[in-house]
Amino acid sequence: MQAILLNGPQAQSASLFKSQPEAAEDSDEGTDDAPVTGYGGGHGVRKTILDPAAAAAKLAKDTQRAQAYKELSDTVNAMRHAEDYSSDAFANTLALLKLNPEYYTIWNYRRNIFLKGLFPACDKDAQAKQDLITSELKLLQAILQDYPKVYCLWVHRKWCLGQCPWPDWQRELMLVTRMLEQDARNFHVWEYRRYVVGQLEQAEERSLAEREFEYTTAAISHNFSNFSAWHNRTKLIPTLLLEAGDTADVREGRRAQLLKDELTLLKDALFTDPDDQSVWLYHKWLLNPDSGPAEQFPLAPQDVAARIALLQQELEMIDALLEEEPGHVWCLDARCVY
């Protein structure tokens, strides 16, 4: 099948051709071939092989859609080059970004429209500015439901909140919590959650590290195969150790208990799913005092004898796992490392 090729930034995203209801109807008409499982834009999406007539009809629709997109893109870019910051330019950027939310140049242009066209009109009216940004945040939330892994959207959301007279960080935390309920492994949402929590901590002048640590524990307990949740623990543990107390004895007690609890959790995860690479990576981080956040706040003991005893303990655990999973590649890899 021929394809319509868009040059330059117009080709940044396939979102223009996201499946539409009419395309689904086309695939059911005149199709002799049974649906086959294949890549259809996402994991586990069933792909239908179209007969020549249906394929031609789909190509015609895609061609028409691509032409409309190109015309709109040309219009918006002409406005951008002309430094047009009018309401028409604002509306056109929205229309284009709904078709292609990954068009980062147009997101930049939209921010300039805010700064040079919209904000000056409400320079002395903070509520008007708040209303403008609230409307933009609602728009972003709607687009994020369909494109939760588009980096440009999260960048723009951060920017909007940075311009907001009264940002509602609790609402943002509720938003990311709901999104992680839909996809607990979306690292874009996890990164944004860390940003929101940091802003909340500044606004409320209190640490949320303990609460966030409990949140990652719940996420991991629900599904061990959550690299983003394990990764978030590497960010939180140094903070927990730093906040443990003023005396060395108190901090040492907290470190030892954290290590014990983490190794227990890891053992459950490894024996449940030894093929999960994220669990092994986290295990290595715990036992390696010379990498990542562990450089300043190592969870592994610094005493040589204690470190040797810890490694021997974990090697015994790995050997026990090897008895159940002979020749398992991750077990053998960890054994060589330790």
The answer to whether residues 203 and 169 touch, using CB atoms and an 8 Å cutoff, is yes
Cα 174 to Cα 180, 181, 197, 216, distances in angstroms: 10, 11, 11, 15
pLDDT at 45 over 60: no
Cα 56 to Cα 11, 28, 34, 98, 286, distances in angstroms: 22, 14, 19, 26, 57
What would the mean pLDDT of 304-308 be, rounded to a whole number?
Answer: 91
Is residue 107 very low, low, confident or very high in pLDDT (cuts 50, 70, 90)? very high
Q: What is the pLDDT of residues 76-95, one digit of tens each?
A: 999 999 999 999 999 999 99
One-letter amino acid identity for 114? Answer: F
The pLDDT value recorded for residue 244 is 82
pLDDT at 213 over 70: yes
Q: Backbone phi, then psi, for 320, in 5-degree steps?
A: -65, -40
Q: How many CB atoms lie within 10 A of CB 39?
A: 9
The pLDDT value recorded for residue 46 is 66
pLDDT at 37 over 60: no
How many alpha carbons lie under 13 Å from residue 336 in its C-beta half-sphere? Answer: 6
pLDDT at 273 over 90: yes
What would the mean pLDDT of 213-231 be, rounded to a whole number?
Answer: 95
Give dist(CA 128, CA 35) in Å, integer.
Answer: 52
Q: Any idea which residue has 């730093």 for tokens?
A: 242
List the domain boundaries for the chain.
226-338
Of the candidates 196, 291, 278, 183, the one whose C-alpha atom is nearest the C-alpha of residue 231 is 278
Is residue 31 very low, low, confident or very high in pLDDT (cuts 50, 70, 90)? very low
pLDDT at 202 over 90: yes
Q: How many CB atoms lie within 10 A of CB 27?
A: 20
Give dist(CA 60, CA 92) in Å, integer.
Answer: 25
